[in-house]
Homo-oligomer: A and B are copies of this chain.
Amino acid sequence: MATEIKVTVDTVAFSVEQGVLEVLLVKRKFDPFKSNWALPGGFVDEADTTLDQAAARELKEETSVSDVFLEQLYTFGDRGRDPRGRTISVAYLALLRQQEFELRASSDASGVAWWPVNELPQLAFDHHEIVGYAHKRLKYKIEYSPAAFSLIAAKFTLRDLQLVYESVLSRAVDNRNFRKKFLNTGVLEELDETTQEGSFRPARLYSFSEDRFEKLPDRPVFVF
């Protein structure tokens, strides 16, 4: 009965770069699926005290990304998903900003790179399914949680924020209504700074106020 099973943690890390939703992948150096791209992840270790911590550790080891939004997603465990034998994968969702990290591949990998979610290469194992699932969950998540703010810098313009919504949802949103509604939620702090990006009008910067979010009588819904 108590079959021993191998357990991995694999992370779907998203970022938005110039209005494009991208996923962090590593290129495998060893079999199985040698030289295929895959999600960063690996086996849970005796030393890991929690699964969350195991996912964070693997992500850091394989890509050098650390200290980011990380949340458990779903566990994939169909027999046959790993040719080496029964392995279940606890999948994680990560949200981050590319500019904050310099990618560095581990010795197990021959590469690390960001791939647009709509132009993914062939992926190892059932990782394509995992990415699809993560994307679907992210679409819900930005509508009822402040997840979008994990994808942009601490100071951002309303346009930055809108680009996150548009790239995650894969559709345009009306910018007048977007601004009105987001400002109305009361979670944005208007800063006394503006951008200065080119030969056009500078944009006001905002920050997300966790405090204000927590203090609202009802959770706002970020649906556009």
Contacts and interface: CB of A to CB of B under 8 A. Distances in A.
A51 B43 CA distance: 19
A198 to B, nearest CB: 39
A5 B7 contact: yes
Q: Say which size band chain A's interface belongs to.
A: 20 to 34
A75 B49 CA distance: 14
A74 B72 contact: yes
B46 A3 contact: yes
B75 A75 contact: yes
Given A75-B72, A78-B50, A45 B7 contact: no
A43 B1 contact: yes
Contacts of A49: 78-80
A6 B5 contact: yes
A151 interface: no
A42 interface: yes
A29 interface: no
A7 B2 CA distance: 8
Contact of A44 (B5, B46, B50): B5
Given A1-B42, A43-B1, A72-B74, A48 B6 contact: no
17 contacts: A1-B42, A1-B43, A1-B45, A2-B43, A3-B6, A3-B45, A5-B5, A5-B7, A44-B77, A46-B86, A49-B79, A50-B78, A50-B79, A51-B75, A51-B88, A54-B77, A75-B75
Given A3-B43, A7-B77, A75-B90, 13 more contacts: A1-B45, A2-B43, A3-B46, A4-B5, A4-B6, A7-B7, A46-B86, A49-B80, A50-B77, A50-B78, A51-B78, A51-B88, A77-B90
